[in-house]
Amino acid sequence: HVLHATAHAIKAFKRGENIANDIGLEICLRTAATRQISKALRIVGLKEGPMEICAVLIDSDKLDTLSRIFKRDDTVLEPDTRYLKKLYNLTKNEIELVGVTGALIERTTLLILES
C-alpha cells in the first residue's frame, strides 16, 4: 500500500490537492490514511531504537547515498497482517471483504474523496 500511497501523493502535488507542503510528509499522510500529520507520524514515522524502515525515493540519484547508509532488505515490504490490523484498527469486515492490503489501499483512496 506504500506504493499506492506514493502514487497518490505525487498525483496530489501535480493537481495542487496535496495536504502537506512536503512530498515526504504527503507520502506519510497517505500511507497512514489520515489527514492529521501528528497521527501519520505516530503510525509511520521514525521511532527511537532499532526498527525496520521503508524508504521511498522520488529522486533516484539519492539511491547510492542511501545504499551506503542502509542495508537493503525488501522483506520489510511484505505486509505483517497482524501488526497492520492492530496499527490501523482494521475491522473484521474490511479484512474479509478485501484483505488487509486492500483495506489499506481503500483507506488511502478515501483521502482523495475527502478533498
Q: What is the CATH number of the domain that holds 25?
A: 3.30.2380.10
Q: How far is CA 92 from the centre of its chain?
A: 21
**Residue 21: per-residue pLDDT:** 96
Q: By percentage, how much of the chain surpasses pLDDT 70?
A: 99
- Name the band, by pLDDT with cuts 50, 70 and 90, for residue 86: confident
Q: CA–CA separation, 15 vs 115, rounded Å?
A: 12
Classify residue 18 by burial, with Cβ atoms within 10 Å: 0-12, 13-18, 19+.
Answer: buried
Average pLDDT over residues 12-38: 94
Assess whether pLDDT exceeds 80 at residue 29.
Answer: yes
Q: Tell me, what's the pLDDT at 115?
A: 61
Query: How far apart are the C-alpha atoms of 104 and 80, rounded to whole Å?
Result: 13
d(CA 83, CA 56): 21
- The angle at the Cα of 111, spanning 55 to 43, to the nearest 5 degrees, equals 45
**Domain count across the chain:** 1
Distances (CA, A) of 43 to 47, 64, 78, 86, 101: 10, 27, 17, 11, 16
Residue 83: all three cell numbers together: 501488526
- Could you tell me the residue range of the domain that residue 56 belongs to? 2-114
